[in-house]
Structure 1
Amino acid sequence: MNRTRTLSGAAALAAVAVVGLSACSSSGGKPTETAAGGGGGAVANTPKMTVAMITHAAPGDTFWDQVRKGAEDAAAKDNVTLQYTADPDGAKQATLVKQAVDKKVDGIAVTLAKPDAMKSDVEAALKAGVPVVALNGGLEDWKAMGVLAYFGQDEKIAGEAAGEQLTKDGAKKTLCVIQEQGHVGLEARCAGTAEKFPATEKIYVKGTDMTNVQSTITAKLQQDKTIDRVLTLGAPFAMTALKSVSEAGSAAKVVTFDLNTEAKAAIKDGKIEWAVDQQPYVQGYMAVDSLWLNVQKGASIGGGQAVLTGPAFVTKANVDKLK
Structure 2
Amino acid sequence: MELSSSSRSRRLVSLVAVAAAAALTLAGCSSSSGGKKSEEGGAAASAGKASTPRMTVALVTHQAPGDTFWDIVRKGAEAAAAKDNIKLVYSADPNAGNQANLVQNAIDQKVDGIAVTLAKPDAMKDVIAKAVSAGIPVDGLNAGLSQWKQLGLKEYFGQDETVAGEAFGKKLNTEGAKNVVCVIQEQGNVSLTQRCDGVKKTFSGKVQTLYVNGTDMPSVASTITAKLKQDSSVDQVVTLGAPIAMTAVQSVSDAGSKAKIATFDLNKDLVSAIQKGTIEFAVDQQPYLQGYLAVDALWLYKNNGNYSGGGEEPVLTGPAFVDKSNVDSVAKFAANGTR
TM-score relative to the length of structure 1: 0.90
Q: What's the counterpart of residue 252 of structure 2?
A: 245
Determine the C-alpha separation between the residues in 1 that align with 2:319 and 2:134.
35
Q: What's the counterpart of residue 111 of structure 2?
A: 105
5+ long unaligned stretches in structure 1: 19-39
| Aligned residue among 127, 134, 141 for 2:133 | 127
Higher Cα Rg: structure 1 or 2?
2
Deviations 1:256-311 (A, max 9, x none): 00011110110111111000010101100000000000001111112211111110
Q: 1:11 to 1:258 in 2, by over 3 A?
A: farther
Q: Report the number of matched residues.
A: 302
Would you say the 8 A contact 2:24–2:300 is kept in 1? no
Would you say the 8 A contact 1:214–1:243 is kept in 2? yes
Determine the C-alpha separation between the residues in 2 that align with 1:216 and 1:300.
44
Q: What's the counterpart of residue 63 of structure 2?
A: 57
Determine the C-alpha separation between the residues in 2 that align with 1:17 and 1:239.
40
| Aligned residue among 218, 221, 233 for 1:226 | 233
Would you say the 8 A contact 1:11–1:309 is kept in 2? no
Would you say the 8 A contact 1:163–1:196 is kept in 2? yes
- In structure 1, give the amino acid aligned to 2:242: A
Would you say the 8 A contact 2:160–2:316 is kept in 1? yes
Would you say the 8 A contact 1:15–1:282 is kept in 2? no
| Greater than 6 Å deviation, 4+ residue runs | 4-7, 13-18
Deviation at 1:319, TM superposition (A): 1.3
Q: What's the counterpart of residue 316 of structure 1?
A: 324
Determine the C-alpha separation between the residues in 1 that align with 2:90 and 2:199.
32
Deviations 1:54-100 (A, max 9, x none): 00000110000110011000001111110000000000000000000
Determine the C-alpha separation between the residues in 2 that align with 1:63 and 1:47.
31
Q: What's the counterpart of residue 30 of structure 1?
A: none
| Aligned residue among 176, 182, 190 for 2:188 | 182
Alignment of 1:1-323 (within 5 A): 2-3=2-3, 8-11=15-18, 42-197=48-203, 198-303=205-310, 304-322=312-330, 323=333
Aligned-pair RMSD on alpha carbons?
A: 1.9
Deviation at 1:107, TM superposition (A): 0.1
Determine the C-alpha separation between the residues in 1 that align with 2:222 and 2:306.
50
Q: Secondary structure at the match of 1:166?
A: helix
Would you say the 8 A contact 1:139–1:150 is kept in 2? yes
Would you say the 8 A contact 1:14–1:285 is kept in 2? no
Q: 1:102 to 1:231 in 2, by over 3 A?
A: same
Determine the C-alpha separation between the residues in 2 that align with 1:11 and 1:93.
28
Deviations 1:240-266 (A, max 9, x none): 000000000000011000011110110
Give identity over the alignment, percent: 59
Determine the C-alpha separation between the residues in 1 that align with 2:15 and 2:250.
37
Q: 1:282 to 1:17 in 2, by over 3 A?
A: farther
Determine the C-alpha separation between the residues in 2 that align with 1:41 and 1:116.
43
Deviation at 1:15, TM superposition (A): 8.6
Q: 1:189 to 1:95 in 2, by over 3 A?
A: same
TM-score relative to the length of structure 2: 0.86
Q: Secondary structure at the match of 1:309?
A: strand
